[in-house]
Amino acid sequence: MSQKFFLQEVDAAVDALLLQQVILYPTDTVWGLGCDAEVPRAVEKIYKLKQRAAEKACIVLVADEAMFARYAEQVPDNLAELLATQEKPTTYVVQGSRLLAPNLLAADGTIGLRVVRGDEFTFKVLRRLGHGLVSTSANISGEPAPAIYKEVTPEIVRGVDYVVSWRQDDETRHAPSRVVRVLPDGGLEVLRD
């Protein structure tokens, strides 16, 4: 597909997000449901669509270390090193900032943040939006996460405000991200590998 189509899809996704809508989009891992991470109403719509318990937090994608710092109460001193050495997409669980929609945070006030690497579409959406982007797998809670677009159920497709066309024909399978908790001493506790 052409670069023009790619940029049109970026623009359309960002337009929907700016209208506080929910999008279905390809991420650096699986197909996801997303919205502006600072809009509680849009976050609530995602939880309803997924039929997900409110106490289960979602991941927030960010473009870079500066955006990570916007949403983390405390940034790990070694974040740049962690990002430079990670071998696959990794979500870091940290204390969330007050800028996030309150209904995104786990009961203990934490949030999972992932700096997008190697996925130009999501990176450009994040840059244009200027905010974090909610990322939760595009499935009903308890069902398998869709690695490719064809695995997204019609119920999910009908429930969103905008479906990104980019990569719908891509059959490349990506796994969900690795999830680690950042400990007070800067160490990491692996929650999902």
Cβ proximity of 129 and 17 under 8 Å: yes
Q: pLDDT tens for residues 82-131?
A: 899 988 999 999 999 999 999 999 999 999 999 998 899 999 999 999 99
Q: pLDDT tens for residues 166-191?
A: 999 999 998 889 999 999 888 899 99
Cβ proximity of 163 and 149 under 8 Å: no
Class in CATH terms, 3-192: alpha beta
Task: Please state the pTM of the whole predicted model.
Answer: 0.95
Q: pLDDT tens for residues 1-50?
A: 689 999 999 999 999 999 999 999 999 999 999 999 999 999 999 999 99
- Between CA 149 and CA 164 the distance in angstroms is 10
